[in-house]
Amino acid sequence: MISKQDLERILARENNGPSVFSLFLDLSVNSDNKRTHRVFLNQRRAQFDELDSERWNQPREEVGQAFQRVDQWLEDEFSEENKGAVIYTELGGDWFEAMQFPVAVANRLVIADRPAVGPLAQVLESYHHHGVVLLDRERVRILSVYLGTLLDEIEVHGEPYPGPHDVQAGGYSQRRYQRRKLEEMRQFFKEFSKEIEEFDRSYRPDDLIILGTDENVAKFREFLPEPLQAKIAYTGAMSVGEPASEILARIEPHVQAEREREGREVLQLLRDRVQQDYLATTGLQGTLTALQEGKVDTLVIGRDLDHEGARCTRCGFVFARTIEECPYDGAATEGGIDAVEEVIRLAEAQGSQVEFVEQAEVEDMDGVGALLRF
Ligand SMILES: [Zn+2]
């Protein structure tokens, strides 16, 4: 499964000569149960065959080889249950790396001096890694869920509580029995809480979802240490034995609602700050400038945004529009730069929070804005 570490690794790659072919593929099946990525691949391939590609410093033969490696990977490595993939390869170089995941990405091919990371960041930033806890008074199941998929599951049964051996038939009062069951529950919930702490340490979920009867969930919460209580994003009723597919279907709308709520909150904060003229910026140029000054705390950006800009050939500053010369040093600029890719790359490299929202919601700010650190 892909993770933030993959993104960091790709970002950290040095530009060591050959151009990088970055391919994002939508491998989801349509209503006829068919994948349509072939159409896109054939179109792109045909473009390179027709074009005088040498002119663009993209040797035709090497582009052809890249497409062949992609075909080979799809044939040999792609798992049918996945819906999206990113494939990187150097034109005429050795590097080849492919990642597949259970959510779709828009088809896109980029050939540039560095690998394109925007769509990969969009996938990774749009989903949280959830720790889903299901419990009753005897057992707990802890599921690691990411990109709508079950990655791993742990199940723990409480150690049977030692009962009195000298109980005669009918000699065990109802009150003592209940007290014993209560003590047993406490014991189990303590054990379960330890298991969740352990899970949190090793799996590092972004949040926790706790499912069980309302009574058990409410009681169990109290056994969790404060930092884990703070991580609870949702609690709900569910029986402990449900199959994983049911659990995933059950939490999906809540997870989705939570994502949307987060996006709305950040966006509202951004709008408030813009109005107060306090530590915020909007628009592609304002955001690019803030990023290049290292000021961005949280980037808010529309999904699948597309915008061309320019880069100074001397100082490397990126501009949101095509300009002839750099206003800082007068040097010539290079056009055709993917300004959105630059924005995402800068934000990720600086460790800024990145929040993707629907394009329509940020139309009035040209698709992008940022909360600033200073
Ligand atoms: Zn410059």
Round to whole Å and give the CA distance between 99 and 82: 10
Give the fold, CATH level 3, of 129-260: Nucleotidyltransferase; domain 5 (3.30.420)
Q: How many CB atoms lie within 10 A of CB 290?
A: 25
pLDDT the model gives residue 54: 55
**CA 27 to CA 37: how far, in whole Å?**
6
Q: What is the pLDDT of residue 173?
A: 81
Distance 294 CA to ligand 1 centre (A): 17
CA of 20 to the centre of ligand 1 (A): 25
Give distance in angstroms: CA of 322 to centre of ligand 1: 13
- What confidence tens digit (pLDDT) does each residue in 33-81 have? 999 999 999 999 988 877 665 555 567 889 999 999 999 999 999 999 9
CA distances 31 to 27, 34, 35, 108, Å, are 13, 7, 10, 22
How far, in Å, is the centroid of ligand 1 from the Cα of 321?
14
Token pair 């107060």 in the structure block, residue: 276
Could you tell me the distance, in angstroms and rounded to a whole number, from the CA of residue 279 to the centre of ligand 1? 25
Distance 285 CA to ligand 1 centre (A): 15
Expressed in angstroms and rounded, the spacing between residue 274 Cα and the centre of ligand 1 is 28
Residue 329 Cα to ligand 1 middle (Å): 5
Domain boundaries, the chain: 1-126, 129-260, 279-374
- Going from the Cα of 109 to the center of ligand 1, the distance in angstroms, rounded, reads 28
Q: Which stretches of the chain are DSSP H helices?
A: 4-11, 37-50, 60-76, 118-126, 174-203, 214-221, 226-229, 244-276, 284-292, 339-349
Element holding 232 (H helix, E strand)? strand 232-237
Q: Was domain 279-374 assigned CATH 3.30.1330.30? A: yes
101 strand-pairing partners = 84
For ligand 1, the distance from its centroid to the CA atom of residue 311, given in whole angstroms, is 8
* 21-25, 61-65, 220-224: segment of lowest average pLDDT: 61-65
Buried b (16+ CB within 10 A) or exposed e, 4-26: eebbeebbeeeeeebbbbbbbbb
Q: What percent of the chain has pLDDT over 70?
A: 95
pLDDT over 70 at 328, yes or no? yes
CB 355 within 8 A of CB 260: no
pTM (predicted TM-score): 0.88
Q: Place 165 in a pLDDT band, splitting at 50, 70 and 90.
A: low
Q: Round to whole Å and give the CA distance between 223 and 186.
A: 8
pLDDT at position 214 is 96
Residue range 1-126 forms a domain whose CATH class is: alpha beta
**What is the C-alpha separation between 152 and 142, in angstroms, rounded?**
8
- Residue 331 CA to ligand 1 center (angstroms) comes to 6
Q: How confident is the model at residue 28 (pLDDT cuts 50, 70, 90)?
A: very high
Bridge-partner residues for 282, per DSSP? 369
**Ligand 1 centroid – CA 39 distance (Å):** 41
Give residue for tokens 């663009």.
Answer: 56
Cα 333 to ligand 1 centroid, rounded to whole Å? 8
Whole-number Å distance, alpha carbon 289 to ligand 1 midpoint, is 13
d(CA 28, CA 5): 24
